[in-house]
Amino acid sequence: MQQLLKLQQKVVPEMLKLLEKRYNILRTIYYKQPIGRRALANDIGIGERVVRTEVSFLKNQNLIDIDTSGMTVTKEGEIITDSLKEFIKELRGLKEIENIIKNKLKLKQVIVVPGDLDEDKTVKSELGRVTGNYIKNILKDDSILAITGGSTIKEVVDNAPRFSNFKNLVVVPARGGIGRKVEIQANTLVAKLAEKINANYKLMHVPDNLSEEALKAIMKENEIKKVLDIIHKANILVYGIGIADVMARRRGVSKSEIDFIREKEGVGEAFGYYFNMEGEVVYSNPTIGIKRENISNVDTIIAVTGGKSKGKAIVAAEIKNKNSVLITDEGAAREIVKLLN
């Protein structure tokens, strides 16, 4: 395959560029359907005249439908888009990049999707879709699935497939935290995902940034104890990774503590812990749920995040997670390779 691609790039490079362009158009329509031509042109950064030509071609190939509400992808178009994704990965050398990151960081698996979330917001939906399918493939009867909150995990839930072929599944929040937007809180996402995969669920209404004394008092409550017991038995953990100071501000961390994180060269954040480039914890938010020391007891931990700007944060959070699966995008992956080299 790689040899053939190299020959095509030498002899007919314009064919591969056209293929990538049509793939990007199909993917954008799929995640934003129904969408109009002007909005599509703005999203992918090409002229309306070019979009009109390409849309006409895709319509004639029965890959999209067009009506008064906008453009949508047909069933055949969905199949073609999924098939093209693997080809685009080969074309851009992403399989090789996956192996480099996996070996350098000593991870269980690395999956890279084409694109850069910093430049194309539909990439977040693709990350969610890939993660949702990965979760489906590793679930078993009696699995306990713990998830954090956040906009990327919301995409995982929104794009996860519906199924009901497993028994006694339980979905739980990985940690407390109710101080952010309701739609991306862990409890909200837990309930929504459980409904999609026909699972039971448990919620935990505990805000971030409580004092140690308050946390100790809450942990004595029977209902909280029961939920924590289930959380600590989770065999799958799904979480996002953020840039340290950005996440600290979002979590309401004080300026003096943010300054401390920066002083200690914290660059990445995951489930309330802030890491430097050596993977060392430099600060953590007081909360209850899965702790850093519990991670080694979880069968599979899945980190999902994207964007070139997250490169350092990903290395910091993942460098010591040998049982981790990293699902990220091309922009972040290429930045990670640069950092590791």
Query: Do 134 and 44 share a domain, yes or no?
Result: no
Query: Do 153 and 266 share a domain, yes or no?
Result: yes
Contact (Cβ atoms closer than 8 angstroms) between residue 328 and residue 305: yes
Query: Do 215 and 274 share a domain, yes or no?
Result: yes
One-letter identity of residue 62: N
Which pLDDT value is given to residue 208?
Answer: 62
Boundary-marking domain end, from 90, 118, 151 = 90
**pLDDT band, very low/low/confident/very high, at 91 (cuts 50, 70, 90):** confident
Query: Do 36 and 173 share a domain, yes or no?
Result: no
**pLDDT band, very low/low/confident/very high, at 2 (cuts 50, 70, 90):** low
Taking the C-alpha atoms of residue 318 and residue 106, their distance in angstroms, rounded to an integer, is 9
pLDDT (average), residues 268-276: 93
pLDDT tens profile 163-210: 988 999 999 999 876 556 788 999 999 999 999 999 999 998 777 666
Query: Do 162 and 282 share a domain, yes or no?
Result: yes
> Quick one: which of 116, 128, 150 has its CA closest to 308?
116
Query: Do 172 and 276 share a domain, yes or no?
Result: yes
Which pLDDT value is given to residue 11?
Answer: 58
CATH code of the domain containing 143: 3.40.50.1360
Taking the C-alpha atoms of residue 229 and residue 262, their distance in angstroms, rounded to an integer, is 34
Mean pLDDT of the chain: 90
Query: Do 70 and 123 share a domain, yes or no?
Result: no
Which pLDDT value is given to residue 209?
Answer: 65
Query: Do 35 and 135 share a domain, yes or no?
Result: no
Question: Quick check: 116 pLDDT over 70?
Answer: yes
Boundary-marking domain end, from 90, 114, 147 = 90
> Quick one: which of 55, 49, 68 has its CA closest to 26?
55
DSSP three-state, residue 251 = coil
Query: Do 47 and 192 share a domain, yes or no?
Result: no
Query: Do 308 and 254 share a domain, yes or no?
Result: yes
Query: Do 318 and 272 share a domain, yes or no?
Result: yes
Query: Do 135 and 253 share a domain, yes or no?
Result: yes
Please give the C-alpha separations between residue 289 and each of 122, 128, 274, 293, in angstroms, as whole numbers: 31, 23, 16, 11
| Domain count for the chain | 2
Boundary-marking domain end, from 54, 75, 90 = 90
Q: Supply the pTM of this predicted model.
A: 0.89
| Residues 6 or more apart in contact with residue 34 via CB below 8 angstroms | 67, 69, 70, 71, 72
State which residues form the domain around 290: 92-340
268: enclosing H helix or E strand: strand 268-270
CATH code of the domain containing 83: 1.10.10.10
| Residues 6 or more apart in contact with residue 103 via CB below 8 angstroms | none
CB-count exposure of residue 250 (10 Å: 0-12, 13-18, 19+): middle
**pLDDT band, very low/low/confident/very high, at 4 (cuts 50, 70, 90):** low
> Quick one: which of 331, 317, 320, 279 has its CA closest to 148?
317
pLDDT (average), residues 126-141: 95
Taking the C-alpha atoms of residue 330 and residue 96, their distance in angstroms, rounded to an integer, is 12
Q: Buried b / exposed e across 221-232, counting CB within 10 Å, b at 16+?
A: eeebeebbebbb
pLDDT tens profile 278-313: 999 999 877 788 888 888 889 999 999 999 999 999
